[in-house]
Chain A
Amino acid sequence: MNELLRRMLFLPEQASDYARQVDGLHYFIIITTMIAAAGVFATAIFFFVRYRRRADTDLTPHVAPRTIHEVVFVGLPLGLFLVWFAIGFPQYAKLSLPPKDAMDVYVQGKKWMWKFAYPGGPNAIDTLRVPVGRPVRLLITSRDVIHSFYVPALRVKMDALPGRYTQSWFKAEKPGRYEIFCAEYCGLGHSAMLGELVVMPQEEFDTWIAEQRRGANAVAQDAGPSGERALPAANVAEEGRRIASEQGCMKCHSVDGTRHIGPTWVDLYLRQEKLKDGKSVVADEGYLTKSMMDPAADIVAGYQNVMPTYQGKLSPPEVAAVVEYIKTLKTQAVRSGPSEGPVYESIPRPQ
């Protein structure tokens, strides 16, 4: 029954017990609404036929309601509505009271990506990994405008407000991958601000988070006094590609030459770029690094100042790795012209 109604109403999977409860209310409302509406319309159609006009000067009796009519007209729907509310409101209240043993995840929205940070350091862009069967409390904020964290499969949504934290929670019961949308309009990349919720078995999650912690510690330990960390030379470009996709660079910069929200990276290295203020610049290592640290400084003509800064978020070797990666994106053509104007298209999900 649940499955049939869920499919008829096009509802997404139910990844939690809460989702199943909300859907239960949904079915109850749909069924009672349909019965009530059918009653009203059946009565109306009966009247259309029974009392159709015979002559244009027909006289009709003066019918006035008795008090009982109005009491019924008010009482019936009010009773029904309050029953709905009595089911729905406790669900909403529950959603605002996370259990004490919940695991915390900090969620930060910004144009146009989601950043998830776990206590102890590990963090991820656009992919939220959680263990199955464990309550997760989300502490949500935004860096720029209002976003809204929305997981249809959980029937959970909460606005991400700049300058303050909101909270919500869920307990995913079914391992799997679920979509995360931004539900509050936030500009050009609003519909591309997609994420993924990965619900994994507890052991897998523990392994993953331990790996992340080790990785973070390794960075801290390897970082010498100069803040440098040696990367295996052959892998630098490969490492750069990994960092770039993790940090969400590919949401705006293409690596196949197609035009996008930001200039394409193909043949970018040493390209003569025309800037907004009329000057032009050669995209060398210096310019590329500066663009990551202070994106607003030199905007390429025809593009908007929408890129967030990566100052303090990428370590110098990581920046170098990304630059190395960009350097490998060369086509056979001898030279290429300056960037063309931007087009905004649907952005493929990173696999």
Chain B
Amino acid sequence: MNPSLARSEVPVWNPRNYLNSPETGLRSWLLTQDHKRIGVMFLVATTIAFAIGGIFALLIRIELLTPGPTIMSAQTYNRMFTLHGVVMIFLFMIPAIPSGFGNFLVPLMIGAKDVAFPRLNLLSFYVYLAGAVIALFGMVQGGADTGWTFYTPYSTTTITKVVPVLLGAFILGFSSILTGLNFIVTTHTMRAPGLTWTRLPLFVWSIYATSVIQILATPVLGMSLLLVAVEHAFGWGIFDPARGGDPVLFQHFFWFYSHPAVYIMVLPAMAVISEVVCAFSRKNIFGYKAVAYSSLGIAFVGFFTWGHHMFVSGQSAFNGGVFGVLSMFVGIFTAIKVFNWTATLYKGSILFATPFAYFVGFLFFLVFGGMTGIALATVSLDVHWHDTYFIVAHFHFIMVGATLMAFLAALHYWFPKIAGKRLPEGWGLVAAVMIILGFNFTFIPQFLLGNEGMPRRYFSYPEKFWPLNVASTAGASVLAMGLVIVLVYTLVALKWGPVAGANPWNSRGFEWNTPSPPPPENYETTPVYTHGPHEYDLPGVETPPAATPEPKHAS
């Protein structure tokens, strides 16, 4: 245990908080318009989705333990990897950080009492639930076997239940659009006095950039999924050449959304990391404008890179080159952030607490995920790697690794604000080490499998791929155990965790200016901002004075 966490004063539990006022009943939660409650409901729902998707992932890894059939048939396996992708992407990674943590934190950070459209916010949650239920219904009915990419004409000719899964994803898109719209209006109109754009916390900047992508790209996904559903249900020739359609058109539509969707997942992760790195190194961010504008840069250039998913689809070499170079520009914006975060540590005061451990994991996955991404954008290497396990490992590193690290960093950093309780530091570090190592042991063998030439979505494989597959499954089990530990101590801490107090991390992020848990109206009087967040060069800006005893059951 770090002795520096010990305090002389006793931390205070805010008696009138959003958890118990104005009411506590189930009804008051289901009909709430409080952004904090909606954020918490999103966090619970997305965590459940993450658990379901994780179980699918483990079943896939067990099936791949042997070259032949292990525990399931090819048909079941094909459904498993489809559902794993659909659940993890549409139900967990896209909504988890923006709709969960974003909802909770954006108004707190900008000194507002709520988001701009509280009722729309609640609607977004119910639209999410409806989409999830329809997608789950499709799964119970047998599930789709197309992969989450729904490539035509396979998806329009398969006999499995594609339509409910497509409709589920279609409806989930509306939730994403509504939340994005809400954040854009909130950021523009509800900033407290003195909070200029250059004082805006970087979390808000990144969430803002995410929202722009959400409302611009998601309609394209909705449109293309609907076209697939129509062709599947009524047999109209849109994508199937046997009926007069164009088989590659769908890939253009799909990736026009799904490539920016990668940034819908990664930008919120970068949002979290920008806060965590400042709070735990007690430093102002190095290059505020570079970090803020690079988020917008990623959002913009991300729209012009979709063709890099189609280097071997028969597009011209010229197209390949253009999409290759544009993809590298996205890499540049990411590189700017990586260098600035690292430079932020310079002359800081670094506390190696659990959220910071996840920052280190995030940096590792972002650097290697990003560099493999640039390697793919050199085009000729992509021809070998396309649709192999190299791609699987690459997007798990950059998308899942980064998003998961940020999600867990956010959970550990803001849990004291959300629940008013502390998580155990010792167990937190143990779980972080298990998760980061487990993740590496799962996906580094997959990079090598891709080099060796193993295509993705293989139910059975030649025996020479066996050893690396066993290694990957072993890593996945360590990763799963780490995640279970996090789940257990989080649930325990909800009830028995030590009281955190308003600002246990001594952070100068604006959201810590409220008591923990925050009162329903966030701030009794609208705050007036005179400086940016995370300025640690002047004494005594922390308000109210932080105070917390050493957590009792930590380690």
B352 near A52: Cβ-Cβ < 8 Å: yes
Taking a contact as CB atoms under 8 Å apart, the answer to whether B348 and A47 are in contact is yes
Identify A96's interface contact among B282, B317, B468, B546, CB under 8 A: B317
A248 within 8 A of B: no
Q: Are B345 and A47 closer than 8 Å at their CB atoms?
A: yes
Give the Cβ gap from B279 to chain A, nearest Cβ, in Å.
12
A69 contacts B343, C-beta separation under 8 Å: yes
Is B489 interfacial (CB-CB < 8 Å)? no
Q: Known contacts A91-B380, A191-B458; decide if A77 and B241 are in contact (CB<8 Å).
A: no
Q: How far is the CB of A225 from chain B (nearest CB, A)?
A: 35
Task: Give chain A residues whose Cβ lies under 8 Å from the Cβ of B5.
Answer: 56
**Which of B73, B153, B458 is within 8 Å of A190, CB to CB?**
B458
A92 in contact with B311 (CB, 8 Å): yes
Closest Cβ of chain B to A166, distance in Å, is: 4
Residues of B close to A74: CB separation below 8 A? 332, 335-336
Given A10-B452, A73-B290 in contact, is the A159-B154 Cβ separation under 8 Å?
no
B84 touches A (CB below 8 Å): no
**B452 nearest CB across to chain A (Å):** 4
Residue of A nearest to B242 (CB): A162
Q: Known: A78-B332, A188-B74. Contact between A161 and B313, CB under 8 A?
A: yes
Are B74 and A344 in contact, CB atoms less than 8 angstroms apart?
yes
Indicate whether A222 reaches chain B with its CB closer than 8 angstroms: no
Name which of B113-121, B479-487, B532-540 contacts chain A.
Answer: B532-540
Nearest B residue to A181 via CB reads B455
**Chain B, Cβ-Cβ closest to A43:** B342
Q: Which residues of A contact B158 (CB under 8 A)?
A: 187
Are A85 and B332 neighbours in the complex by a CB distance under 8 Å? no
For chain A residues 51-109, which have a beta carbon within 8 Å of chain B?
A: 51-65, 69-70, 73-74, 77-78, 81-82, 84-85, 87-89, 91-93, 95-97
* B340 proximity list for chain A (CB < 8 A): 65, 73
Known: A148-B312, A150-B453, A181-B453. A47 touches B346 (CB 8 A): yes
Binary interface encoding of chain B residues 452-465 relative to chain A, with 1 for a CB under 8 A from any of its CBs, else 0:
11011111111000
Distance of A56 Cα from B539 Cα, bound (Å): 12
Q: Which residues of A contact B342 (CB under 8 A)?
A: 40, 43-44, 47
Contact A59 B537 (CB under 8 A): yes
Binds B, one of A21-29, A231-239, A277-285: A21-29
Q: Is A179 an interface residue (CB 8 A)?
A: yes
Residue A163 lies at the interface, judged by CB distance under 8 Å to chain B: yes
Which residue from chain A places its CB closest to the CB of B74 in the assembled complex?
A344
Q: Is the CB of B314 within 8 A of A185?
A: no
Residues of chain A lying within 8 A (CB to CB) of residue B316 = 96
Q: Of residues 237 to 270 in A, which have CB atoms within 8 Å of B's CB atoms? A: none
A345: Cβ under 8 A from any B Cβ: yes
Binds A, one of B33-41, B206-214, B370-378, B422-430: B370-378
Residue A9 at the chain B interface, CB threshold 8 Å? yes
Per-residue contact bits, chain A 170-187, to B (CB 8 Å; 1 contact, 0 not): 000000000101111111
Contacts of A192 in B (CB 8 A): 460
CB distance from B466 to the nearest CB of A (A): 12
Q: Which of B100-108, B259-267, B382-390, B403-411 forms contacts with chain A?
A: B382-390
For the complex, give the distance between the alpha carbons of A148 and B247 in Å.
14
In this complex, the interface size class of chain A, counting residues with CB under 8 Å from chain B, is: 35 or more
Is B332 in contact with A77, judged by CB distance below 8 angstroms?
yes
Q: Which of B313, B378, B448 is in CB contact (< 8 Å) with A25?
A: B378
Is residue B201 within 8 Å, beta carbon to beta carbon, of the partner chain? no
How far does the Cβ of B283 sit from chain A's closest Cβ, in whole Å? 5
A37 sits at the interface (CB 8 A): yes
Q: Using Cβ atoms and an 8 Å threshold, which residues of chain B touch A292?
A: none
Q: Mark B291-332, 1 if CB is under 8 A from A, else 0.
A: 000000000000000000001111011001100110010011
Contact partners of A161 in chain B: CB under 8 A: 241, 247-248, 313-314
B346-A84 in contact (CB<8A):
no
- B536: A residues at CB distance < 8 A: 58-60
Kindly specify which of B221-229, B360-368, B433-441 makes contact with the partner chain: B360-368
- The CA-CA distance from A144 to B247 in the complex, in Å, is 11
Interface membership of B68, Cβ < 8 A: yes
Contacts of A187 in B (CB 8 A): 78, 145, 154, 158
Cα of A84 to Cα of B384 in the assembled complex, Å: 16
Taking a contact as CB atoms under 8 Å apart, the answer to whether A10 and B284 are in contact is: no
Interface size class on chain B is 35 or more
Q: Give the complex CA separation of A29 and B373 in angstroms.
A: 11
Inter-chain contacts of B78 with A (CB < 8 A): 185, 187-188, 190
Contact A186:B241 (CB < 8 A) given known A44-B345, A344-B459:
no
Per-position contact with B for A32-54: 1 when CB-CB < 8 Å, else 0? 01001100110110011001111
A69→B317 contact, CB < 8 A? no
Is A33 within 8 A of B453, CB to CB? no
Contact of B4 with A by CB under 8 A: yes
Q: Residue on B with the closest CB to A57? A: B506
B384–A155 touching, CB < 8 Å: yes
Q: Which residue of B lies closest to A58 (CB)?
A: B349
Contact digits for A190-216, partner B, Cβ 8 Å, 1 yes 0 no: 111010000000000000000000000
Contact between A53 and B351, CB atoms less than 8 A apart: yes
Contact A81–B380 (Cβ < 8 Å): no
Nearest-Cβ distance from residue B123 to partner chain A, whole angstroms: 36
A346 to chain B, nearest CB (A): 3
Contact A60 B241 (CB under 8 A): no
Query: In the complex the two chains form, is A92's CB within 8 Å of B321's CB?
Result: yes
The answer to whether A150 and B506 have CB atoms under 8 Å apart is no
CB distance from B293 to the nearest CB of A (A): 10
Q: Which residues of A contact B352 (CB under 8 A)?
A: 48, 52
Tell me, yes or no, whether A12 is within 8 Å of chain B by CB. yes
Q: Is the CB of B452 within 8 A of A70?
A: no
Residue of B nearest to A78 (CB): B332
Which residues on A sit within 8 Å (CB–CB) of B371? Answer: 29, 33, 36-37
Checking B346, B351, B380 against A22 with a beta-carbon cut-off of 8 angstroms, the contacting residue is: B380
Is A313 positioned at the interface, with any CB of B under 8 Å from its CB?
no
Q: Is A217 an interface residue (CB 8 A)?
A: no
Residues of B within 8 A of A163 (CB): 241-242, 247
Contact B367 A37 (CB under 8 A): yes
A196 → chain B, closest Cβ, in Å? 12
Please tell me if A331 contacts chain B, counting CB pairs below 8 Å.
no
> Is B166 positioned at the interface, with any CB of A under 8 Å from its CB?
no
Report A-chain residues with C-beta under 8 Å of the C-beta of B248: 161
Q: Which B residues lie within 8 Å of A78 (CB)?
A: 328, 332
Decide yes or no whether B75 CB sits under 8 A from chain A.
Answer: yes
Q: Does B17 contact A (CB under 8 A)?
A: no
The distance in angstroms between the C-alpha atoms of A194 and B448, with both chains bound, is: 21
In Å, the complex CA distance between A320 and B161 comes to 39
- Give the 10 A-B CB pairs with smallest separation, nearest first: A163-B241, A152-B453, A88-B378, A346-B460, A344-B74, A91-B380, A58-B349, A47-B345, A166-B314, A191-B458
* Sample of 14 more A-B contacts, CB < 8 Å, known A144-B157, A161-B241, A161-B313: A56-B5, A65-B290, A73-B339, A82-B328, A85-B377, A87-B380, A88-B380, A91-B380, A92-B324, A146-B154, A159-B314, A181-B455, A187-B158, A191-B459
Can you name 7 A-B residue pairings with CB atoms under 8 Å?
A52-B350, A81-B377, A152-B453, A155-B384, A156-B383, A159-B312, A191-B459
Which residues of B are in contact with A by a Cβ distance under 8 Å? 4-5, 67-69, 73-75, 78, 145-147, 151, 153-154, 157-159, 240-242, 247-248, 281-284, 286-287, 290, 311-314, 316-317, 320-321, 324-325, 328, 331-332, 335-336, 338-340, 342-343, 345-352, 360, 363-364, 367-368, 371, 374-375, 377-381, 383-384, 386-388, 448-449, 451-453, 455-462, 468, 506, 535-539, 542, 546
Give A residues with C-beta under 8 Å from B: 9-12, 22, 25-26, 29, 33, 36-37, 40-41, 43-44, 47-48, 51-65, 69-70, 73-74, 77-78, 81-82, 84-85, 87-89, 91-93, 95-97, 144-146, 148, 150, 152-153, 155-159, 161-164, 166, 179, 181-192, 194, 304, 343-347
